[in-house]
Structure 1
Amino acid sequence: MRTTSSGWTKGRVTSVVAGAVLALLALTLVGVGGTALYYASQNDGYIDLGTSRYQHRTDTYAMTADTWHADQQLGGLYDDLKVTFEPDKKSDQVFVGIAGAKQLGQYLNGVEHVTIHDSGDKGDKQSNHQGAAPKTTPGQAQNVWIAKAGGQGAQTLNWPVQPGEVGLVAMKADGSRGVSGQVTVAAKIGALTWTGIAGLVVGVLLLAGAVLMIVRPVRRARGRA
Structure 2
Amino acid sequence: MKPGRTVALVLGCVCALAGFALLCAAVFLGWAYVEQNDNGHLASAAERFRSSANALVSERIDLLDDGEMPRGLSTENVGRVLLRVTSDEPDRPIFVGIGPDDAVDNYLAGVAHTQVTAVEFGPFRPSYREISGDRIPEPPSAQSFWSVAAAGAGTQEVRWDLQPGSWTVVVMNADGSPGISVDVQAGARWNFLGPLALGVLIGAVVLLGAGIALVVTGAIGLGSNGPPPHPVGTSGRVPPPGPPSAPHPARLSGDLDEPLSRWLWLIKWLLALPHFLVLFFLGAGFLVATLVAGVTILCTGRYPRGLFDFNVGVLRWLWRVQFYTYSALGTDRYPPFTLQRTDYPADFDVEYPEHLSRPLVLVKWWLLAIPHYLVLAILVGGWWFGNAATDDGTVSGPWVLGSLLSLLVLVAAIALLFTGRYPRPLFDLVIGINRWAYRVIVYAALLRDEYPPFRLDQGPQEPPQPILPRDQSRAGNQP
Band the TM-score falls in, shorter-chain normalisation: 0.7 to 0.9
Give, in whole Å, the separation in 2 of the partners of 1:188 and 1:31.
21
Aligned to 1:62: 55
Equivalent residues of 1:40, 1:46 under 8 A apart: no
Question: Is this contact kept in 2: 1:54–1:119, CA < 8 A?
Answer: no
For the residue of structure 1 that corresponds to 2:189, the secondary structure is strand
Distance 1:118 1:131 in 2: 25
Equivalent-residue separation in structure 2 for 1:119 and 1:168 (angstroms): 15
What's 2:353 paired with? none
Aligned to 1:126: 129
Please tell me whether the aligned partners of residues 85 and 182 of structure 1 are also in contact (alpha carbons under 8 angstroms): yes
- Residue 10 in structure 1 maps to residue 3 in structure 2: yes
Shift in Å at residue 54 of structure 1? Answer: 4.9
Point out where structure 1 has 5 or more consecutive residues left out of the alignment: 1-7
2:192 corresponds to:
191
Structure 1 residue 204 corresponds to structure 2 residue 197: no
Is 1:71–1:161's contact at 8 Å kept on the other side of the alignment? no
Report the TM-score, using the length of structure 2 for normalisation.
Answer: 0.41
Q: Please state whether the residue corresponding to 2:13 is helix, strand or coil.
A: helix
Q: Does the 8 Å CA contact 1:118/1:126 hold for their aligned counterparts? A: no
1:138 correspondence with 2:131? no
Deviation of 1:177 after TM superposition, in Å, equals 2.1
Q: Does 1:38 align with 2:31?
A: yes
For residue 55 of structure 1, report the CA deviation from its aligned partner.
2.8
Q: Check conservation: 1:115, 1:127, Cα contact below 8 A.
A: yes
**Higher relative contact order, structure no. (Cα contacts within 8 Å, ≥ 6 residues apart):** 1
What are the Cα deviations for residues 169-209 of structure 1, in whole angstroms up to 9, with x where unaligned?
00122322211123333333342211110101110121011
Q: Which moved more, 1:200-209 or 1:172-181?
A: 172-181
Write out per-residue CA displacement over residues 91-127 of structure 1, whole angstroms, 9 at most, x where no aligned residue. Answer: 4322110111222122223332222222345542312
Q: How many angstroms does 1:85 deviate by?
A: 2.0
Partner Cα separation in structure 1 for residue 142 and residue 186 of structure 2: 24
Instruction: Give me the whole-angstrom Cα distance separating, in 2, the residues matched to 1:11 and 1:36.
Output: 37
Q: TM-score, with normalisation over the residues of structure 1? A: 0.81
Aligned mates of 1:113, 1:216 — CA distance in 2:
67
Amino acid at match of 1:138: P
Counterpart of 2:159 in structure 1 is 158
CA distance in 1, matches of 2:63, 2:41: 15
Q: 1:27 aligns with which of 20, 33, 53?
A: 20
Contact 1:85 1:181 in 2 (8 A): yes
Identity among equivalent pairs (%): 23
Q: Deviations over 1:49-88 (max 9, x none)?
A: x7x575321122210112221337xx85743222222333
- Note the aligned Cα RMSD (angstroms): 2.5
Give the deviation of 1:222 after TM superposition: 5.5
Go from structure 1 to structure 2 and tell me whether the alpha carbon gap of 1:150 and 1:43 turns closer, same or farther (over 3 Å shift): farther
Greater displacement, 84-93 / 10-19: 84-93
Match of 1:94 in 2: 94
Structure ID, larger Rg: 2
- The AA in structure 2 aligned to 1:124 is S
3-state SS of paired residue (1:174): coil
Give every structure 1 segment of 4 or more consecutive aligned residues whose post-TM-superposition deviation is greater than 4 Å.
75-78, 222-225
User: Is the 1:100–1:144 contact (alpha carbons within 8 Å) kept by the matching residues of 2?
Assistant: yes
- Structure having the larger proportion of residues in strand: 1
Q: Within 1, Cα distance between the matches of 2:189 and 2:183? A: 20
Contact 1:107 1:144 in 2 (8 A): no
Gaps of 5+ in 2: 70-74, 227-479
The worse-fitting range, judged by mean Cα deviation, of 81-90 and 143-152 is: 81-90
Q: Secondary structure at the match of 1:153?
A: coil
Deviates most, 152-161 or 19-28: 152-161
Amino acid at match of 2:35: Q
